Structure 1
Amino acid sequence: MMKQIINSSKAPAPIGPYSQAVKAGSTLYISGQIPIDQASGNLVSGSIEEETKQVMKNLSYILEEAGLTFNDVLKCSIFVSDMGTFTQVNSVYGEYFGDNPPARETVEVSGLPKGVNVEISCIALYS
């Protein structure tokens, strides 16, 4: 099975030795996205809702580059710095999925890259 690297110019460039996404067979693995606005290069700060919206935008740009949408997502992993923000993150996250949302877990971690409050990765499937 060959792997193909997927990168979107609309999403922030990786901040380490990893790819935005890798396609292997009919599966797309998207690396964790944090709330960086690619246009400005700045972190989106403010409310956890604003941060989560930017993360979801970044994921959508990568999905789009790969020819997929949120409807193709099988699983997401959500990492938050404070489980007290779960309700707000969950509310924004839910706006991107219809009646058949993907599997997922949400975990609180002691720290995230660049001190952000939320990071989300996902796995999608080509039909």
Structure 2
Amino acid sequence: MSKKIAIKTKNAPSAIGPYSQAIKIGNLVITSGQIPFTAGGELVSGDIKDQTRQSLTNIKKVLEEAGLSMDKIVKCTLFIQDMNEMAAINEVYQEFFTEPYPARSAVEVARLPKDVKIEIEAIASAE
């Protein structure tokens, strides 16, 4: 059985609770949800495009620490405050991904940590 390895980088926001930025197990890297804060702990802005871009940038930085790139992502889950902002989210999402796009789920939620508009988590494969 594969050993669970915590992934930690200073290039993305630190975990603010008892969890890891990501876990590597076997060929998979599973990120925790990334919210739109800089590595220094500042919210980027209230704009959904800026928030989406920062959340995806944080995922990119965590994956880079694990030796992977965004093209290794096989699944993303988006937690969104307002599903009406999906077109703007998709516009930014396409800056980070090309076909074949990762599988994806998008869920509208009542509230997110720090009252942000979006949180994104990912699963990447080293294969």
TM-score (norm 2): 0.96
Percent identity over the alignment is 45
Say which structure is richer in strand: 1
SS in 1 for 2:32: strand
Alignment of structure 1 residues 6-45 onto 2, 5 Å = 6-39=7-40, 41-45=41-45
Q: Which consecutive residues of structure 2, in runs of 5 or more, have no partner in the other structure?
A: none
Q: Deviations over 1:33-74 (max 9, x none)?
A: 0000113x2111231001111101101100110110111001
Moved over 4 A (4+): none
SS in 1 for 2:33: strand
SS in 1 for 2:60: helix
Q: Which consecutive residues of structure 1, in runs of 5 or more, have no partner in the other structure?
A: none
Alignment of structure 1 residues 1-127 onto 2, 5 Å = 1-39=2-40, 41-127=41-127
SS in 2 for 1:74: strand
Q: Deviations over 1:76-99 (max 9, x none)?
A: 000100001111111101211112
RMSD: 0.8
